[in-house]
Chains A and B, each alone.
Chain A
Amino acid sequence: MRAYILRRLAQAVVVVWAVTTIMFVMFRVMPADPTAVLMERGMTDAARETLIAQWGLSGSLWDQYLRYMGNLLRGDFGSSFFYRKPVWEVLWPLIGNTLWIAVPGLLLGAFAGAALGMLVGWSKRGGKIERGGIFLATIIRGAPSFVIGIALLTVFSSTLGWFPGFGMGDPGPTQGFARYLTLDFLHHLALPLIAVIIYFLPENLLLMRSGVVENRTEDYIELVRAKGVPSSRVAWHAARNSLLPLITWLFPALAETIAGIVVIEIVFSWPGVGRELVLAVTRQDYPLAQAAFFLLAVMIVLANLAADLTYGKLDPRVVYK
């Protein structure tokens, strides 16, 4: 088990290194010049050269790469071209903002999706619940996340006026962590959170449903029924076995959905990592964009590892070697 985790971690390092390298090269072969976007007009050539050297854009690509990797190993992501301060200082507060909508949203989406999927899967085949459930889930699954966001904004913000339409809070005296504990924050959180839940729920529902439908005709379910246990307990057996494929999919999907939350952050003007990532790419802010992608890569790799380890806990047939 320990050897397995160590080997997987070693693989993870290789994957993250590869992603980092690809990102590094991609930004530098893009036909665009960050200096053109970010430098002030009328700057002297000498000042310009100094700035380019400061940004680490002087020398050959190979020199730049070695310098970048060396800094990365020391935990230094460099400085944002746009904000003129270390990338870490820019990203750190944003990570928290993203987690506020991502973690509760994904957890609630996964749990509600699995619970509803079990209900739909256990309902009468071809009945109203099954047909209605699949229909709704497929429609929502098919809709891009910005459509969900815009629909929510149109109904609950513009038309009904129940929730604010953008941002994370009204301007006010509360600062620092305390601002996360205000009703105003929760009021702003509601719509983007609901959007994430709705975005993530249908796929969980459909996967769980197909698992339960498959399992409910298995021989072991018949024997469980014959034992005279309540039907909710019979459904539990089917659901417990359906969790296995769901988990395989869930963790990598979590990481991918965090990336997908980018769109929701933009629709709701939520100041998170995803929104900053998009802005950084359009501003040619290499260090910031590369750091954001680095974070996503680490999250996806760790999520895959977590999925494999959880799978072993849930399925006794899985052995780690």
Chain B
Amino acid sequence: MTALQDLNARLAQKPAARLEVKNLCVAYGTFRGPFNAIDNVSFTVEPGTTLGLVGESGCGKSTVVKAIMNLLPEATTVTGDVLLNGKNILGLSDKALQQVRWTQISLITQSAMNSLDPVLCIGDQIVESILAHEKIPYGLAWARAAEMFAVVGLPAARLREFPHQFSGGMRQRAVIAMALSLNAGMLLADEPTTALDPIMQDQIMTRIRGIHEHLRRSMILVTHDIAVVSETCETTAVMYAGKLVESGATADVLQRPRHPYTMGLQNAFPKLPVRGTSRQPLISIPGTVPNLLMPPRGCRFASRCPFAAALCHAEQPELIQSSDGHAVACHFAERAPEFRLAARQAETWRAKEAAI
């Protein structure tokens, strides 16, 4: 058996990881006081499954990922627990953290454009991630990098090239290859297709799904594209203004949403027209996200919610999980079927817009 096969076999034995995030809170220090970017977020990723984390821009999706990776700036206050295979990785020492990073949890970054060092060839950047954790010769690490390039469909010869010689899609694939280099049990994909054109987005997502089937890693997929979530993820968590508003099995959350925000989010995405039915117009959610320097007393979505009542403005709803695992943070979750019907009408949202 060659050294490379040996290395591959050893890395392939790594089990998929289980990630449990409990009561995660992140506050950025600003001149005008703490900015609570993440407020009490909890979710679990079972081994070998993919969790879709959705929400509009600025809702804190990427902050959750960075908090899990311990990549937030020093001035940030992070509380709660991030249990990776039962072990809390928040607040680890630099040394201990170095050993966890990439061996157990790796990252596919948001903007592949700037995620690679411009003056090092891509092969060396992948090799760097391998040699940081494996005591193996350079040549062997390079061979492993070539294999990872093959997994994402890039020719090994291009390992010697520099980031500026790659197209956006190729760079994104190189970043994915790098994330796979040590076959970490947990992959965090932070909007891996945001900067790409729709055709390339589809190619990359197909590639990620293929890799997921093949390697069976656990994954968090951060995106604002609901279609991608429905195709890729077993479970879905919806975030709004730094809070988790709804989570559960993807089919439950997307087809029978219980939170008005999820209902609104769905309306905002184009659907393929079905023959014989009328074309559904895109409906946007009126209003803007509240200022988190001065978060509202009640539900954070109340100011934009067409179904908001006095209670919503006064009291924060708790995230309550029902027996089927579907959790929602809404005072009127039991009226969800009624809301869903109303939410499909553009008139409902337009009335709210007029009220704002």
**A interface list, Cβ under 8 A from B:** 124, 218-220, 222-231, 233, 237, 240-241, 244, 314-317
Contacts and interface: CB of A to CB of B under 8 A. Distances in A.
A318 to B, nearest CB: 10
Contacts of B109: 219, 222-223, 226
A228 B69 CA distance: 10
Contacts of A227: 101-102, 106, 128-129, 132, 178
Contacts of A240: 117, 119-120
B118 A241 contact: yes
23 contacts: A124-B74, A219-B110, A219-B113, A220-B114, A220-B117, A222-B115, A224-B117, A227-B128, A227-B132, A227-B178, A228-B99, A228-B103, A228-B129, A229-B132, A230-B132, A233-B128, A233-B132, A240-B119, A315-B118, A316-B118, A316-B162, A317-B118, A317-B162
Contacts of A231: 94
Contacts of A222: 66, 71, 109, 115
Given A124-B74, A227-B101, A228-B101, A314 B129 contact: no
Given A218-B114, A226-B71, A317-B118, 20 more contacts: A124-B74, A219-B109, A219-B114, A219-B115, A222-B109, A222-B115, A223-B115, A224-B128, A226-B109, A227-B101, A227-B129, A227-B132, A228-B101, A228-B103, A228-B129, A237-B117, A237-B120, A241-B117, A244-B119, A316-B164
Contacts of B133: 228
B111 interface: yes
B102 to A, nearest CB: 4
Contacts of A315: 118-119
Given A228-B98, A228-B132, A231-B94, A241 B119 contact: yes
Contacts of A124: 74
Interface in B72-108: 74, 94, 97-103, 106-107
B302 interface: no
Interface string B106-145: 1101110111111111000000110011000000000000
Contacts of A218: 114
Given A229-B128, A316-B162, A317-B162, A220 B116 contact: yes
Contacts of A237: 117, 120
Contacts of B164: 316-317
A231 B71 CA distance: 13
A231 to B, nearest CB: 7
Please name the 7 residue pairs, one residue from A and one from B, whose CB atoms are nearest each other, closest first.
A228-B101, A219-B114, A316-B162, A227-B129, A229-B132, A228-B102, A228-B98
B194 to A, nearest CB: 13
Contacts of A230: 98, 132
B293 to A, nearest CB: 22
Contacts of B106: 226-227
